[in-house]
């Protein structure tokens, strides 16, 4: 039995075809190590929906067909190593902002360092997890807190956050965005930019366009996230090539052209490698009723009609 998967890791995204479904999990982890540079002992493999970690300790000799099926998307995260991180001449220090509780690393011109895509879970809170990484001390677990921040901001200013802005009545929107099944997008990035008094630059891989929220507010700093059509991840500058998150810088001067050019070059490579989804034509399956949908518009219409909120991309069977 042949299995094809999409693999996401710190090395980027890659389509892997022709895996033998009978190969052992141990052998599969060796393949992942070759593709990602993450040693088997440090791999955390997330599969399914919602994504859950595979038990890689007790199932080394089990066939991979026991855990994954053709067309699955897997995320591989790197667990903390017992080996001390490499020493660099100027490790990042935290800078705090008492008004917004920012602790995302130093603002830097980043003449040195490497752009790195820090992955978030494949769930409906990926935007909030990505923003939490760059604004809340690299803590993806603060995603739910950011939903609360949005609700507080919207409730406190119904004049600004009116139906025309939100697309819903103020109170209805607050209930809607509190539900973890609902995705975030441009509205939420705009609100978070205003709350934290910082520019949030969101790169769209498919178009290579940078949407910069708050750029008309004269904020002094900027953070970056990346969008592949259906999913958000965080962007940072790591002082060590392929280094651990401890060496990430996530907050930069809004006038930092050096970092901006590095980010643009990275997005250009992601675009050329096809690491995005055609949201007009890709197929989704509703995990609540198994209805197959084509494109983002059909998914949005289905969600509005049924209140279903759990979708995953449907891969063509090989």
Residue 52's CATH number: 3.10.20.90
- Total domains present in the chain: 3
pTM assigned to the model: 0.61
Write down the catalytic residue from 212, 228, 231, 238: 231
Residue 232 and residue 170 share a domain: yes
Residue 149 and residue 204 share a domain: yes
Residue 173 and residue 122 share a domain: yes
Residue 197 and residue 307 share a domain: no
Q: Is residue 92 part of a domain?
A: no
155 versus 246: which is more confidently predicted? 155
Q: Is residue 106 part of a domain?
A: no
What residue numbers bound the domain in which 138 lies?
114-272
Q: Are 22 and 11 in contact (CB under 8 A)?
A: no
Write down the catalytic residue from 126, 174, 212, 238: 126
pLDDT for res 285: 85
Residue 267 and residue 126 share a domain: yes
- Is residue 256 part of the annotated active site? The answer reads no
- Is residue 87 over pLDDT 50? no
Write down the catalytic residue from 145, 182, 195, 308: 308
Residue 247 and residue 299 share a domain: no
User: Strands 221-227, 232-238: parallel, antiparallel or unpaired by DSSP?
Assistant: antiparallel
Residue 288 and residue 232 share a domain: no
Q: Is residue 89 part of a domain?
A: no
Of 9-18, 105-114, 198-207, 277-286, the poorest mean pLDDT is in 105-114
| The two three-digit tokens of residue 293, written as one number | 């949908």
Q: Is residue 102 part of a domain?
A: no
**Nearest-angstrom CA–CA distance, 301 and 101:** 37
- Is residue 195 part of the annotated active site? The answer reads no
- Grade residue 27 by pLDDT with cuts at 50, 70 and 90: very high
CA distances from 16 to 2, 6, 50, 259, 277 (A): 11, 6, 21, 32, 16
Q: Is residue 207 part of a domain?
A: yes
- Is residue 289 part of the annotated active site? The answer reads no
Could you tell me which of 16, 122, 32 has the C-alpha nearest to residue 79? 32
- Grade residue 193 by pLDDT with cuts at 50, 70 and 90: very high
User: Residue 196's domain is classified under what CATH number?
Assistant: 3.90.70.80
Write down the catalytic residue from 123, 145, 182, 195: 123
């Amino acid at each position: 039995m042949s299995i094809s998967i999409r693999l996401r890791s710190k090395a980027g995204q890659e389509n892997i075809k022709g895996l033998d479904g009978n190969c052992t999990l141990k052998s599969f982890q060796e393949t992942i190590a070759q593709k990602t540079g993450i040693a088997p002992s440090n791999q955390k493999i997330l599969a399914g929906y919602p994504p859950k970690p595979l038990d890689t300790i007790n199932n080394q000799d089990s066939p991979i067909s026991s855990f994954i099926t053709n067309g699955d998307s897997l995320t591989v995260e790197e667990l903390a190593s017992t080996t001390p991180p490499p020493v660099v001449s100027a490790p990042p220090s935290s800078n705090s902002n008492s008004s917004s509780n920012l602790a995302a690393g130093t603002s830097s011109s980043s003449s040195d360092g490497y752009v790195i895509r820090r992955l978030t879970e494949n769930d409906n809170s990926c935007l909030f997890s990505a923003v939490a990484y760059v604004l809340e001390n690299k803590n993806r677990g603060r995603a739910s807190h950011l939903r609360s921040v949005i609700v507080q901001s919207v409730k406190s200013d119904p004049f600004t956050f009116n139906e025309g802005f939100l697309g819903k009545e103020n109170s209805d929107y607050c209930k809607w965005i509190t539900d973890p099944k609902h995705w975030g997008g441009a509205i939420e990035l705009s609100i978070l930019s205003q709350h934290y008094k910082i520019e949030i630059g969101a790169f769209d891989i498919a178009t290579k366009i940078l949407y910069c929220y708050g750029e008309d507010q004269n904020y002094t700093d900027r953070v970056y996230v990346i969008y592949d059509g259906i999913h958000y991840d965080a962007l940072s500058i790591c002082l060590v090539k392929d280094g651990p998150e401890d060496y990430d810088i996530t907050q930069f001067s809004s006038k930092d052209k050096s970092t901006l050019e590095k980010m643009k070059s990275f997005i250009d490579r992601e675009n050329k490698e096809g690491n995005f989804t055609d949201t007009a034509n890709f197929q989704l399956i509703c995990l609540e009723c198994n209805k197959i949908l084509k494109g983002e518009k059909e998914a949005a219409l289905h969600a509005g009609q049924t209140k279903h909120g759990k979708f995953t991309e449907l891969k063509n069977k090989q």
